[in-house]
Structure 1
Amino acid sequence: MNYGKLLRYALCIVSLVVLAPAVVLVALRMPAFGDTLPAYGAAINAQVPSMRQATNVVTAVIFDVRGVDTLGEEFIFVAAITGLAVLLRGGRGEDASRKPIHTDARRLPARSEAIALLIRWMLPATVAFSIYVMAHGQLTPGGGFQAGAVLASAMLLLFLGDGYPSWRQTVPPIVMQWLEALGAVACVGVGLLPMAFGAGFLENVLPQGQPKSLTGGGLIPLFNLAVGMAITGGFVNALVEFLEETREPEEGER
């Protein structure tokens, strides 16, 4: 009998029994669509557009009004990627020329020139879109997290088109690790920058710029960029760890 599996099922059932009533109560007490905004939401809508010249109030809240919470979330993400690497890396090597695992029931399809060509068209367009999402985060829906996820997806397209060895050579994991680390440090640096001028942590000290333009938002675009770096590096590092699980181990490895 698998006691570990039984324990997991038991914990899942207990969690559902405990949390389900709370979920139902929250759903029943949610305000109806179109109801009057709470005082906090009304204050944000009234002040953010003029204070930060940002037309995307959601991004302004995430990267300005509650920026300290966002900073904490970024480090939770970094910690999660670190934990993933610790759990999966084990005794694996880092050679970019490893071969995929081969089993009798798994046929390894040959590289498709049509797919490779299609992805080479899609890749630059996806990268350009990620830059657009990041640069316009304070104006339209988007921001650093979304842009980082899109850019990491572009890196995955490269793997799908040219295969794993080519992907590892084009996107060295060490570069992505540095990108994630620098992004996390930059998030803190953006917050500390105002303190060098006698202001508070994450308090805006930059010119507000013009509304509905890339120059608006004060510190928001810088915070967006830092988050985008951390998210891109983190997601690509996760992809590396998962894909390493599918390669053929060499002599002496587990």
Structure 2
Amino acid sequence: MRLRYLLTALAALCLLPLAAPVIRHMPEFGAHPLPYGEAVNRIAPAERQVTNMVSAVNFDLRGFDTLGEETMLLAAVVGTVVLLRGARGEGTADRPASCPGRPIAPRSPGVVLLCRVLTPMLLLFGLYVVLHAQLTPGGGFQGGVIIASGLMLVWLGEGYGAWRRLVPGKVLHAMEGGGAALYTLTGLGALLSGAAFLTNILPFGEMRQLLSGGIIPVVNLGVGLAVAGGFAMLFLEFLEETREPEGNDE
């Protein structure tokens, strides 16, 4: 442990002379030297009828890059699922694994009540963040993580059996793959109409209205579904690692 602290201190001393000039030459808070921000603030409200510039960049101005990010997340989740299931097997019992001398404490009634109250509120807030991406801060990435966190409260408050009944793996797979497919098909739809991939071909609507921004709400919904399904699938796989194996699984 002392050696670890010593190595950390030595690394900090080596990095400090390099970090100091970088910190000293950083722009002031709120200032940015590139004109990209001003261009987005000028173009997006007038041409896309949106008030959240981050969503305008992610799902319109650089929508193809965002599709790549979603694909990387999908690949990472699939890789994790393959690794865990390959080592554990498909069969999983409802009994939690236990260690000698470490009994599993029962859930507190206060924790159960708090989870039952917070779960629908968190799910509703996550849905709000996803659906209002073109209007207020947020979007599919943020809202999807919030929704997945709300699903985790089901396990925390109700237990593993209720979690598996209410959050089936097949639904999570459909959400993850369906969200990515919705994003891709939206871009292919623009190609079929004769426009470039992910060209905004839908009506833009009116500023500050829920149905505004053209395809931005559509592809953002796809991201929300993929992120919520992907993170919930990760939670599911890690939770299954804590269960006793059944049958011939090791």
Normalised by the length of structure 1, the TM-score is 0.86
**Superposition RMSD in Å:** 2.5
User: How does 1:60-209 map onto structure 2 within 5 Å?
Assistant: 60-95=56-91, 97-209=93-205
Query: What amino acid is aligned across from residue 221 of structure 2 in structure 1?
Result: L
Deviation, structure 1 residue 33:
2.4
CA contact (8 A) 1:96 1:165 kept: no
| Structure 1 residues 32 and 101, CA gap change in structure 2 (3 angstroms) | same
Q: Could you give the per-residue CA deviations for residues 185-221 of structure 1, whole angstroms, max 9, x where no partner exists?
A: 1111111121222111111011111111112111110
Deviation, structure 1 residue 224: 0.8
Identity score, percent: 46
Confirm or deny: 8 A CA contact 2:93 2:246 kept in the other structure. no
Shift in alpha-carbon separation, 1:249–1:222, aligned structure 2, 3 A: same
Q: Classify 1:203/1:28 alpha carbon distance in 2 versus 1 (closer, same or farther; 3 Å).
A: farther
Quick one: which amino acid aligns to residue 131 of structure 2? A
The number of equivalent residue pairs is: 242
TM-score scaled by structure 2? 0.88
- CA distance in 1 between counterparts of 2:15 and 2:168 reads 43
Structure 1 residue runs of 4 or more that deviate by more than 6 Å after TM superposition: 18-25
The verdict on how the C-alpha distance between 1:105 and 1:44 changes in structure 2, with shifts beyond 3 A counting, is: same
Aligned partner of 2:249 among 233, 247, 253: 253
Within 2, Cα distance between the matches of 1:119 and 1:172? 19
Supply the distance in 2 between the matched residues of 1:92 and 1:21 (Cα, whole angstroms): 47
**Offset from partner CA, 1:109-158 (integer Å, 9 cap, x none):** 12333322222221111111111101111111000111110110111000
Change (3 A) 1:77 1:103: same
For residue 34 of structure 2, what is the aligned residue in structure 1? 38
Q: 1:108 to 1:187 in 2, by over 3 A?
A: same
Please report how far the alpha carbon of residue 57 of structure 1 lies from its aligned counterpart in structure 2 after TM superposition: 0.4
1:90 alignment partner, SS class: helix
CA contact (8 A) 2:93 2:245 kept: no
Are the structure 2 counterparts of residues 224 and 245 from structure 1 closer, same or farther at C-alpha, using a change threshold of 3 Å? same
Letter in 2 for 1:106: R
Distance in 1 (CA, whole Å) between partners of 2:56 and 2:214 is: 10
> 2:65 is aligned with what amino acid?
D
Assess if the C-alpha contact under 8 Å between 1:81 and 1:234 holds in 2. Answer: yes
Q: Distance in 2 between matches of 1:19 and 1:182?
A: 45
